[in-house]
Chain A
């Protein structure tokens, strides 16, 4: 026999994991992954059958989809977007660029993978990944949404999360006199 409290807990877990609203942030790659995300959201793949809704407002989103390499220009914007999201939330890094910079690795303005900026829960490999793989990544992240990040069991992430603000201390290059 299951009590009302446990029943409510089960319902909340089900609701949280079955309603992944995504917000998309493009760090500035080649837009290949972005096109695949758009493809995923068309009726062909029908992501809405899993409750996926594409929202334009990070405050209302549960999953942050990131494409492109982390770079000096938009690191702060990416972090702000992540910070504006309300727990429970998750980050899905899509494509090679988000893992280590991809083909832009080593470029003067590129910081590397987005784990330098935000904690990454799921990496979707590929350059670009297929829409099915992105959907798989979203569903894997949705399973994590049952609890806020602080209550989730710790697991060794592919790119270990950096504490907030660390990225500020470590720009790898100096772009001008102001940075010196």
Chain B
């Protein structure tokens, strides 16, 4: 009984701490972007200020369906991270995350604003770009470790050495999770872009905060998947995630926004090819999920 209680408490703490960590990381992200553009950036805690402000807005209009779907997105994304953290099945966690993303697409599409509709269809393109890649990564991990259970992948040989090309796929995945250019087609993460506020157009106050929090859980999940490549060496894993984040930041500042076709093409072309190579390497190595 006691171990379960400890596990439950640890899970709850992690579920609360993950958004805080992502918030600070995003603050650093904004400072780094500002430095690249040779201006002073916002404070490190700026994303947490923004989230608190949104969450404590008084009232705010919300479509009942939209509100429910946003909450579903938040719950599913958090559940995916919790399942991951408790050593559950990586494939199931990936599918949970995908379901959360579907809820977000539905939330954006549940209102009549044309910008929200356009944002929803583009969010769908990003979902199509991301979900198969995440599944390929999970399968490649499983192929090396012989199981898709996170606790067994951690115990296996460090995946980084077995399937190094997955790093490229993971960078693409992080770029999509962080809405970095060229994958920022669905919502204007930065001021005054073509879609104004895209998929979040009709969200305000605490509902926007919940949607944002759901996104943060998605980012935390992708970061955790990257860190998993280092196996039980967690510090090294976080270093890997930092490297991938830096690469995504570089892409963001070096590449313009793409059309949805080229965004999809780049995700599948670069990320998909690297994942396929990784899967092939893992299969040649023997063992794995299938003989």
Measured in the bound complex, the distance between the Cα atoms of B51 and A19 in whole Å is 9
Flag whether B269 is at the interface (Cβ < 8 A).
no
Measured in the bound complex, the distance between the Cα atoms of B35 and A43 in whole Å is 10
Can you list, as one digit per residue, whether each of B36-71 has a CB less than 8 Å from chain A (1) or not (0)?
A: 011111110010111111101111110000000000
Residues of B within 8 A of A87 (CB): 57-59
Which chain A residues (32-75) contact chain B, with CB distance < 8 Å? Answer: 41, 43-44, 46, 48-51, 53-57, 59-60, 62
Contacting pair B197 A55 (CB below 8 A): yes
Residues of B within 8 A of A148 (CB): 58
Contacting pair A54 B191 (CB below 8 A): yes
Flag whether B289 is at the interface (Cβ < 8 A).
no
Flag whether B204 is at the interface (Cβ < 8 A).
yes
- Given contact pairs A43-B39, A86-B60, A88-B58, A56 touches B53 in the complex (Cβ within 8 A): no
- Given contact pairs A43-B38, A60-B208, A86 touches B49 in the complex (Cβ within 8 A): no
In chain B, what residue has the closest Cβ to A12?
B56
Residues of B within 8 A of A12 (CB): 52, 56
Most buried by A among B46, B201, B208: B46
Find A48's partner among B34, B52, B203 (CB 8 Å cutoff): B34
Most buried by A among B34, B50, B191, B201: B191
Contacting pair B37 A43 (CB below 8 A): yes
In chain B, what residue has the closest Cβ to A45?
B39
Flag whether B18 is at the interface (Cβ < 8 A).
no
Contacting pair A16 B53 (CB below 8 A): yes
Contacting pair A48 B59 (CB below 8 A): no
Determine how close the nearest CB of chain A comes to the CB of B179; give it in whole angstroms.
14
Find A18's partner among B39, B49, B191 (CB 8 Å cutoff): B49
Measured in the bound complex, the distance between the Cα atoms of B43 and A50 in whole Å is 8
Determine how close the nearest CB of chain B comes to the CB of A9; give it in whole angstroms.
10
Contacting pair A56 B196 (CB below 8 A): yes
Residues of A within 8 A of B49 (CB): 14-15, 18-19, 51
Most buried by B among A16, A46, A56, A59: A59
Measured in the bound complex, the distance between the Cα atoms of B209 and A21 in whole Å is 14
Find A60's partner among B37, B48, B51, B204 (CB 8 Å cutoff): B204
Determine how close the nearest CB of chain A comes to the CB of B81; give it in whole angstroms.
24
Contacting pair B56 A86 (CB below 8 A): no
Residues of A within 8 A of B37 (CB): 43
Contacting pair A56 B48 (CB below 8 A): no
Can you list, as one digit per residue, whether each of A11-28 has a CB less than 8 Å from chain B (1) or not (0)?
A: 110111011010000000
Which chain A residues (118-156) contact chain B, with CB distance < 8 Å? Answer: 148
Contacting pair A57 B34 (CB below 8 A): no
Residues of B within 8 A of A46 (CB): 34, 39-40
Residues of B within 8 A of A43 (CB): 37-39
Determine how close the nearest CB of chain A comes to the CB of B47; give it in whole angstroms.
9
Contacting pair B57 A88 (CB below 8 A): yes
Flag whether B200 is at the interface (Cβ < 8 A).
yes
Flag whether B205 is at the interface (Cβ < 8 A).
yes
Find A19's partner among B30, B38, B53, B191 (CB 8 Å cutoff): B53
Measured in the bound complex, the distance between the Cα atoms of B157 and A115 in whole Å is 68
* Beyond A57-B197, A59-B204, 8 additional pairs, beta carbon < 8 A: A12-B56, A15-B51, A46-B39, A48-B42, A50-B42, A51-B43, A57-B196, A86-B57
- 17 cross-chain CB contacts under 8 A: A14-B49, A16-B56, A18-B43, A19-B53, A43-B39, A48-B39, A48-B42, A49-B40, A53-B50, A53-B191, A57-B200, A60-B54, A60-B197, A60-B200, A62-B53, A87-B58, A88-B57
